[in-house]
């Protein structure tokens, strides 16, 4: 067994990333690429297996770096998960691949990273280190992570709140009244789904989950997205498809109003109030924040059919990265 990284230290763990068939639908002209939404699931699933001290429903300071291409003829690839202890209450997670040059120098390439923080502990009580903060040295597989390891509806929650919060009133109880788009805004223009697939977004059927025209104005956009089909792999953050489709809708707004075809490269915070589910339909609200320069910034909000907030993304940064369209 290996201890959790000490303050300022980082440890890397070999990780076998399973290439499920649905991932191959996340395809650009040059090949299938790992979706950002799946990389977040992998990292949260890994940490959630080994410790309950961190709030795995709030992702902070995320960055999506080098594209990770997935081979069509393999069932898995070898990657690394890096954990760095930033402070007594915060860690940094990263999904890496490595390559060795002819001169023998090994380089690491980050593909996705974000921070997790420990939740507020009432009365100054902090979780004590123990078995939950230790990591096995053996190689782990993404296929070995249970999809239902923890859920925000569980009484003993993954965030470490445990029994201090009633199971019928978790911190994700959706009583938030946040509304992004200004009241009374008229969405008098629209982008039909037929203009998004395959003209703008070249992903294949599994990742075509914008279900109706994106209604737009200069103030923002609204649309509906699908939870898609049930898929294997970790699902702690919910279905991967609604948020991915929300990214696509923001991409469509960006092309219409700025002429840029931008993709997610970072965000300040993602907060999952309640995980989305396969097959369900969700409302998306998109609020443009900063349109200057080559990086577009948005806030995103996903709601269910009853208007309850499922999740939000704060200060999503999108940029042209040259992956092309169909």
Where in the chain do CATH 3.10.129.10 domains reside? 8-164
Tell me which of 3.10.129.120, 3.40.1190.20, 1.10.1020.10, 3.30.70.20 is the CATH number of domain 189-319.
3.10.129.120
Q: Is residue 141 scored above 70 in pLDDT?
A: no
Least Cα distance to 91 among 58, 137, 121, 68 occurs for 58
Which CATH fold would you assign to the domain 8-164? Thiol Ester Dehydrase; Chain A (3.10.129)
Residues of the chain within CATH 3.10.129.120 domain(s) are: 189-319
Q: How high is the pLDDT of residue 185?
A: 67
The token pair that represents 43 in the structure block: 């990292």
pLDDT (tens digit per residue) in 73-121: 999 999 999 999 999 999 999 999 998 888 888 899 999 999 999 987 5
pLDDT, tens digit, for every residue of 9-22?
999 999 999 999 99
With pLDDT > 90 as the criterion, what percentage of the chain qualifies? Answer: 66
The reply to whether omega before 198 is within 30° of 0 (cis) is yes
Would you state the pLDDT for residue 321?
82
pLDDT band for position 228 (cuts 50, 70, 90) = very high
Alpha-carbon distance 183 to 137, whole Å? 53
Q: What is the pLDDT of residue 2?
A: 60
Enter the pTM of the model: 0.83
How far apart CA 65 and CA 147 sit, in angstroms, is 26
pLDDT (0 to 100) of residue 183: 60
């Amino acid at each position: 067994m290996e201890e959790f990284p000490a303050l300022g230290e980082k440890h890397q763990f070999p990780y076998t990333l399973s290439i499920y068939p649905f991932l191959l639908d996340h395809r650009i002209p040059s090949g299938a690429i790992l979706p950002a939404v799946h990389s977040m699931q992998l990292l949260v699933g890994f940490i959630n297996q080994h410790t309950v001290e961190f709030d795995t429903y709030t992702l902070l300071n995320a960055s999506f770096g080098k594209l990770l291409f997935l081979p069509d003829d393999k069932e898995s690839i070898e990657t690394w998960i890096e954990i760095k202890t930033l402070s007594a209450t915060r860690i940094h997670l990263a999904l890496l691949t490595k390559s060795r040059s002819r001169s023998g120098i090994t380089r690491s390439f980050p593909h996705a990273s974000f921070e997790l923080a420990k939740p507020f502990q009432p009365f100054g009580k902090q979780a004590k280190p123990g078995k939950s903060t230790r990591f096995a040295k053996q190689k782990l597989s993404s296929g070995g992570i249970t999809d239902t390891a923890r859920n925000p509806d569980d009484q003993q929650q993954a965030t470490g709140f445990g029994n201090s919060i009633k199971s019928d009133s978790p911190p994700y109880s959706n009583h938030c009244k946040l509304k992004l788009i200004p009241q009374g805004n008229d969405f008098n223009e629209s982008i039909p789904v037929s203009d998004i697939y395959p003209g703008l977004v070249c992903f294949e059927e599994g990742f075509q989950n914008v279900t109706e025209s994106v209604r737009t104005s200069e103030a923002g956009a609204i649309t509906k997205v699908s939870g898609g089909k049930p898929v294997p792999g970790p699902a702690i953050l919910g279905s991967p498809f609604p948020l991915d489709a929300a990214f696509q809708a923001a991409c469509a707004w960006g092309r219409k109003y700025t002429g840029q075809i931008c993709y997610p490269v970072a965000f300040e915070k993602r907060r999952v109030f309640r995980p989305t589910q396969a097959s369900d339909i969700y409302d998306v609200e998109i609020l443009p924040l900063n349109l200057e320069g080559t990086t577009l910034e948005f806030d995103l909000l996903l709601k269910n059919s009853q208007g309850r907030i499922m999740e939000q993304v704060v200060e999503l940064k999108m940029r042209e990265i040259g992956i092309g369209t169909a």
